[in-house]
Structure formats: structure tokens, C-alpha cells
Amino acid sequence: MTLVGIDIGTGGSRAVLVDDAGRLVASASAEHADFRSPSTGWAEQDPDDWWRACGDAVRRVMAAGRAASNDIRAVGLSGQMHGAVLLDDDGRVLRPSIIWCDQRTESQCRWLDATIGPDRLLELVSNPALTNFTLTKLLWVQQHEPDVWARVRHVLLPKDYVRFRMSGEYAIDVADASGTLLLDVAGRRWSREMIERAGIDARMLPAVFESPEICARVSSEGAAHTGIPEGVPIVAGAGDQAAGAVGMGITRPGAVSATIGTSGVVFAATDRPATDPKGRVHTFCHAVPGRWHVMGVTQAAGLSLRWWRSQLAGGVSYDELTEEAAGVAPGADGVLWAPYLMGERTPHCDPNVRAALVGLASNHGRGHVVRAVMEGVAFSLRDTFTIFSAMSIPVHRVVVGGGGARSPLWRQIQADVYGRATETVAIDEGAAYGAAILAGVGAGVWATVDEACDAAVRVAGSIEPRADVVATMNDRYAEYRRIYPALRSITQGVEHKETYV
């Protein structure tokens, strides 16, 4: 018996096969076309390219795992969050999807703040109006592309479009729906008041399910495209952060993950919908029924290193870059990186701030800059730990994941910056693996998500922080925190006097 997990990411789609003991059988990926950025801060992708890549990845993983089609028990889906996929009455895509990192909707956020109010937004949907959230994208299309908006009949998120193509069903899970700004996160249902006050037709929104619930089955068209047999159940799944947390065993309060992918996320499971009154971290439903999570987001985490490598380092290998960085002492000899290539979410909620490399001198080389980039991303993620402390969110263990966890240097940098031991898991397949676990719960392989994670997720190793380096990183972090106010004074033309916490 085999479970299929699928993650519709930003750079590509990934599929995994997992057996009924939670062991990884095979994995495969298919790249997406690069996202388009027609204007500064914009980001769009073609949803049909996701569907093409999904089919490629699933067929490859089934071939790699030599899976018999009649062995497949269930399918779980995950994917990039917040994207707006707009469909007409026949389910045809009306325009490219405006994806998670797009920053064009600042005026729509201001409208929501003026119309509904920041405090009422927190009461209704547990989150502030941010440019990343789906609702702001819908309002932008409504204002700037009225001809398109007039034809919209269905709104889906990226993975849910793939589910629609696979099954013909319109559905979403509570975790992914939390990032739309339209869900009553505390009540785990669409917010009628928010929908009405935002002027959205509720009939456009899909049905909401808990993440392990079966909500669809593979159709004949889906079977022809993927090779998964018709009739196989599909669970609701989760957005990539909640699914990735499940894949790392982050399901109970006290467990925290720090994941460096394209973006970076610090994610804490909670038994209540804890809300930051300043809106600096997100409060979402977890993929575990009856639980929630809080998370802080760095927009350009792994993207910072990828951008540096492709644009300024001549495309040399990551291994060569990190080897050079490893030869530089902690603190990068005074070089600091502020990773604001795509604006920033946590803790600043500022779509207009831009990245900065500070402290360069003539004796610095490429290794200094690469180490500064890696440390700067870790400093940015540490901001979320700082906010968690202010919110009394418990942090008993930290598990690191994503591309940042595959680099021994970046793992050590994170341990030193956070001042905590950082664990890695044996199966580092992220959201696709978590989606497969959710599929197993839906199919009855495990009774609960906790039981599944206890059975399947294993710690592979741990790195301890070094006391002398922690002291250096604390000093550097204090200096890092002075960069944003300076950048803010430049971009806004006024002195920024607010503090982080």
C-alpha cells in the first residue's frame, strides 16, 4: 500500500511515495517556468504549468518507486500559499495567478484598514491586511481588471487548482484558507462578515475541510494525466508551511520549526489561536484538527542566496560558495545582509523596504558576503523567535528544514544565531511528505496526525550552539536590528523610531 504526497511549490512540483510505515519509497520533481515579474514587486505564474509539472512529477515518482497503480491508497496535496487562481464558470483560468510574494496590493491593504480597521481584522480573521494575502489580490483585480473580475466564478489557491484538475472538485483546507484573509481562523470556517464587508461573492469560494479529510477523488481526466487510478481518494491537505510542519513532526505546542526555502518560516504549533496584537506574525489553523499555529515569514530567505549566486557570483556552485563562507569567521568581519529583496513580512509588514549589504571594506571577498547573506537570513528568522518570547509561545525544541538544513554551515549558523540546539529529521521531504502523512490519516492508516508523526517522523541529528559564537551572534543581531530603521528612513523619507518588540 502506497500513499502519494504532492507539493506545488514556487520553483517546481514534487511528488513522494510513502509506505504504510511512513518510509519514503521514492521522490521526484518537475520544474516550473520562472515566475514573471512584469513590474517591480510583482510575481505571477501560469496555473496550467503547475498542472503540467504535477503530472510529470507523479509519473516520474511512480516509475522510480515501481508503484503498481492498484497499490495507491490516497493522495495528499500541499503547495505555495496565498496565490489567487481565478476561474470562469467552466473552470478556465482567466489570468496568470498572482502568487504569494507579489507586493502590488499596498493600496488594497490600506483600504481594508480604513474600511474594516486593523483591530476588527484581527478579531475577524486573526491577521492584519498584508500584501501577500489572497483577498488583497482579489481586490486588486477587481479594481484594475474589471473585465476579468466580471467573469470570475471560482477562486482557488495553487494546490487547490491542481486538485480541481485532478478531480473536478472545488475544495480547500483550513490551514491554507487561513492565508486568504477571509477565514474565521478561530472558528475554522469562512468569515461571513469579512466576505460581505470586502464585497466578495461567497459563492466563489470553495468548500472548507480539515486537512486529513477526504474531499475529492481522482477523476478519469486526472487519472489520464497523472497515472493515479480513477477513484483514489484525495484529502484536503494543507498549505506548504502546515504540511511541511507535519512532515517534521511539529504538531504539539512547544515544537518549533525553522525552514529555509525560497522564503523562510519559523512555525510554532499552538493549542489556541494566539494572536500578536501588532500583527507581526501570522495566526493560522494547523493541519491538525483542533490546533493552530503562529508563524513568522522572511520573504527572501533561500532566495537571497540564489539571487546572489545567479546575479553576482557568476553561477558557481552552492558548495563552492559555502566552502568559501565557512573559511570566514562568524560575524563575517562586520558585513551584514538585510534580506529584503521582496519587501518583508515579519516583523515589519513593509512591502516597500529593499535589501541592503552593509559594512563592506576593500579586504572583504566573496566568502564574507556569502556568510553575511546566510547570517542575515538567520537574523531575520530570529526576529520571529523574539516575538514568540513576547507572546509567551513555548519553544522546547527547534527542528530546521528546507535547503538551509541541507547545508552543515547554515545549520550551525542557525544554532548559533538562535542560541538553541537545532534538530534535523531523517526524511527531509518537506511539504510533500507531510501531505502524504495527511493522506495516510485520511485513508485510515493512522488514527490521528499525532499518531502518524509519532510513528513516521524520526530525528536524524542535532547541532549544539557554540557559547563563544552565540555571544558574537548576539552582538551582530543587535547591529542587524539597526538596519531596518535606517532603510525605512530612506524609503519613506522619515525617521523610523519603532522597535521590534
240 is known as an active-site residue:
yes
**53 CB contacts (<8 Å, ≥6 apart)?**
8, 12, 13, 30, 31, 32
- Supply the pLDDT for residue 204: 98
Q: What is the pTM of this model?
A: 0.90
Which residue do the cell numbers 501560469 mark?
A: 46
- Supply the pLDDT for residue 498: 52
Strand pairing partners for 292? 270, 285
- Supply the pLDDT for residue 499: 45
Catalytic residue among 240, 276, 383, 428: 240
Amino acid letter, 487: L
- Supply the pLDDT for residue 201: 97
Please give the Cα distance from 112 to 134 (Å, whole number): 13
Task: Give the residue from 498, 143, 459, 185 showing the smallest Cα distance to 348.
Answer: 498
Please give the Cα distance from 129 to 294 (Å, whole number): 16
Task: Give the residue from 386, 419, 422, 412 showing the smallest Cα distance to 330.
Answer: 412
Please give the Cα distance from 21 to 14 (Å, whole number): 21
Give the sign of the dihedral formed by CA 284, CA 288, CA 289, CA 292. negative
Secondary structure of residue 224 in the 3-state scheme: helix
Task: Give the residue from 23, 157, 260 showing the smallest Cα distance to 5.
Answer: 23
Amino acid letter, 243: A
Please give the Cα distance from 144 to 141 (Å, whole number): 5
Task: Give the residue from 252, 244, 289 showing the smallest Cα distance to 268.
Answer: 252
- Supply the pLDDT for residue 496: 47
pLDDT tens sequence for the chain (501 residues): 799 999 999 989 999 999 999 999 999 999 999 888 889 889 999 999 999 999 999 999 999 998 777 789 999 999 999 999 999 999 999 999 999 989 899 999 999 999 999 999 999 999 999 999 999 999 999 999 999 999 999 999 999 999 999 999 999 999 999 999 999 999 999 999 999 999 999 999 999 999 999 999 999 999 999 999 999 999 999 999 999 999 999 999 999 999 998 899 999 999 999 999 888 999 999 999 999 999 999 999 999 999 999 898 887 999 999 999 999 999 999 999 999 998 998 999 898 899 999 999 999 999 999 999 999 999 999 999 999 999 999 999 999 998 888 899 999 999 999 999 999 999 989 899 999 999 999 999 999 999 999 999 999 999 999 999 999 999 999 999 999 999 998 877 655 455 455
Q: Where are the beta strands (DSSP E) in 218-316?
A: 233-235, 238-239, 254-260, 264-270, 282-285, 292-298
Q: Which domains does the chain have, with CATH numbers?
A: 2-242 (3.30.420.40), 302-384+467-492 (3.30.420.40)
CB crowding 366-404: b at 16 or more within 10 Å, else e: bbbbbbbbbbbbbbbbbbbbbbbeebebebebbbbbbbb
User: Where is 118: in which H helix or E strand?
Assistant: helix 118-125
